[in-house]
Amino acid sequence: MSADARLPLGKILLGQYRIDAHLGASPLGERYRVWHLHRAIPLGLILLPTETNADPEALRRIEAASPALKTLTHPRLLPFYGLQTSADGAFLLEAWSDGPTLADILHERAGRPLPLKETLTWLKAVTAALAPLRPLTHPMLAAEFIHFDAAGEIRLSLAPCALSDPQSNEVSEVYALAALTYKALTGIWPPEKTPRELNPEIPDFASRILLKGVAARAAERIPTAREFTASLSMAARIETKTLPEKITPEQAPVIQAILSRWNYLSPPGVAKISETDASPVQTVAPIQKNKPKNLLGLFTAGLSLTLVAVLLFTLGKLQPIQTGILLPIAETRHPLAAQASPPSPMPIFTLPAKPTESHGGHIYFTCTRGDYNQLCVINADGSGYNQLTTGPAHNYYPVVAPQGGMIVYASNRSGTFDLYLLLFSTGQLLQLTDKIGNVVSPDFAPDGNTIVFANRAADGPTSIWMVGKGGLNPSLVYAGPNTIVATAWSPDGKTIAFAMSVDLPTEYQIFVMDTSGQNVRQVSHGLQGVGGSLDWSPDGKSLLVYAGPVGDKDIFRLEIATGLTTQLTDGGNNAASSYSPDGQYIVFNSLRNNDQADLFIMHADGTEVRQLTDNPEPDWQPRWEP
């Protein structure tokens, strides 16, 4: 696909970035909102044009500039996450800002000027955003890169700075800012007329400052953005310190009115039928290249709490609960399931046959099918593929109970991501958490009675929670200083490992702690670009992690006692690995075949890699059945 062609909605890049919305063109390339499938957050994506993709020197400059830009933090700067390359072209990633750009606001005004004080408000914010860049300069101060959100905050995109221009300097910034200010105050781009002729409300002295900012000869311009903003404010008889820090109804009613009526995008990954946002699970049939059909329709909800208690006692010896919510499910049928007894509409599942191989027979994974992420299962020998979930929701992080018979996974079938427990013997689905935040990455305790998971309960970073397998008393265990994206319970039940961001939001380090949330310590050191998944070895001595440069991740074994690492793969952009029950094999997902996410199996020492799935849609997040 040409990098100038529009990417289709729903397309998944590099197995983790789903295109959710096309936002239009910018001087740097086409803009999109994407959903990070692993971290369950929205991001901004700029697809670089064909000429940039065809210019190795330009891509080299971007790659060289990215590390420094990633470290820049300021309330007025939109965080930058770097360059990535896919089969559809190279693209830049940045934090997501939901709301209009200055270009959108100027378009809404349709040639009518913005009030002087409101123009100075965003100009002050942009000028403040430029200060942390020094000695770098912003080479592309276009209206498309100045963002406003629903709260009135104003932030500048760092992405253009990755495409550094040796000719760019502070005088160039002044011209760009002055031109934008001219456009905002007059409704047109700088012509030969003075701003005051086009808008009599502009004071004469301020009109002259604007003309000085857009002077054709660089030597005639005001030398810095800070001086330009201060001079223009003084000429307008408005003290800079009296300007608001953000857009408010009292101080900036015109822009605030645009923000109030702006058509904000719906939350990413939410199904229109029932506000959902979650992850995958599956069932079994020969691998098919078309979208799986839903063989069982929705059935009526309303089962009594008495039935819940009976089921929980007879299936898995669970305790009766008040918090668990028994739900109807619209799942595809397990091919080995017993026939339902008429007239019951309940879908029926039976447990898969016990594995005959010592290293386990079933692997559960997330499978992207059509517009949604579902759950699937396959035997370790490549047979018995089946899709377990269907319907308009995202399902992720399938984990099999240590004693078998059920899986827990995260799903947004009810709006936010919550935990669900699927009982194979009956096909019943129990909701374990109910809108306590956005839940990801569950894992069972070795005894199967408790589930640890990561949860973002408020505006702060994602933290570690626990809940009983019956849904009783979800509670916070550890609130770290930064976002946590993966949890794993040790085989001896004494330790929880987790991945937490340290320096950058999309790069992590590995930590361990007691199950009480105490004695936290970092166990990964010197491993760059650590990703957000991990799995314990059966002997509890090491963890499987993935790490490496963007677009070239590899699987590593991390020794808990020493922190030493052993690289197990070499090339292919690999992630999300899981041990077989006996520790002799590892399953993982890889983009080694044309950026298509498939599952692969290798020996625990990294030898004899073989492909397990070959589907035109992504297969990822595998977990081996205990």
CA-CA distances (angstroms) from residue 310 to 304, 449, 504?
10, 18, 48
How far is residue 8's CA from residue 20's CA, in Å, rounded to a whole number?
9
Please report the pLDDT score of residue 84 as a whole number. 92
Digit-coded pLDDT (tens) for 509-564 = 999 999 999 999 999 988 888 988 999 999 999 999 999 987 889 999 999 999 99
- At 53-83, the pLDDT tens digits run 999 888 998 998 898 899 898 999 999 999 9
Query: Which pLDDT score, from 0 to 100, does residue 425 have?
Result: 81
pLDDT in tens, 357-376: 444 579 999 999 988 899 99
- Res. 269: pLDDT tops 70: no
Spatial strand order in the sheet of 77-78: 77-78, 154-157, 146-148
Angle at 457 between CA 456 and CA 463, to 5 degrees: 50
Residue 165: the pLDDT is 66
Q: By mean pLDDT, which of 42-46, 117-121, 347-351, 456-460 is the weakest?
A: 347-351
Residue appearing with tokens 């709260």: 151
What pLDDT was estimated at residue 259?
97
Are the beta carbons of 390 and 328 closer than 8 angstroms?
A: no
Structure tokens at 6: 């529009």
Give the residue from 514, 312, 303 showing the smallest Cα distance to 425: 312
Mean residue pLDDT across the chain:
83
Rounded to two decimals, the pTM is 0.56
- Residues in Cβ contact with 1 at an 8 Å cutoff, skipping those fewer than 6 apart: 7, 87, 88, 89
Q: Is 244 left (phi over 0), alpha (psi -120 to 50) or beta?
A: beta
Per-residue model confidence as pLDDT tens digits over 310-331 = 223 333 333 333 334 444 333 3
Cβ 55 vs Cβ 47: under 8 Å: no
Residue 482 has pLDDT above 50, yes or no: yes
Enter the tokens of residue 409. Answer: 């996974």
Determine contact, residues 452/468, Cβ cutoff 8 Å: no
- C-alpha 314/C-alpha 316 separation (Å) is 6
pLDDT at residue 585, rounded to an integer: 96
User: What number of other Cβ atoms are within 10 A of residue 393's Cβ?
Assistant: 28
Do 553 and 565 contact (CB within 8 A), yes or no?
no
Strand, helix or coil for residue 335: coil
Per-residue confidence at 298, pLDDT binned at 50, 70, 90?
very low
| pLDDT reading at 451 higher than 50 | yes
The pLDDT-based confidence of 483 (bands split at 50, 70, 90) is confident
CATH 3.20.20.450 describes domain 1-266 = no
pLDDT average, residue stretch 141-157:
96
119 DSSP 8-state letter: H
Task: Determine the topology of domain 305-624 in CATH.
Answer: Neuraminidase (2.120.10)
Is it the case that residue 242 has pLDDT exceeding 50?
yes
pLDDT band (50, 70, 90) for residue 404: confident
State residue 167's pLDDT score: 66
Shortest CA distance to 282 belongs to which of 404, 356, 379, 402? 379
Q: Count CB-CB contacts under 10 A for residue 317.
A: 10
Residues of the chain above pLDDT 70, percent: 83
pLDDT at 215 over 50: yes
Kindly report the number of other CB atoms within 10 A of residue 109's CB atom: 16
Segments making up each domain of the chain, as ranges: 1-266, 305-624
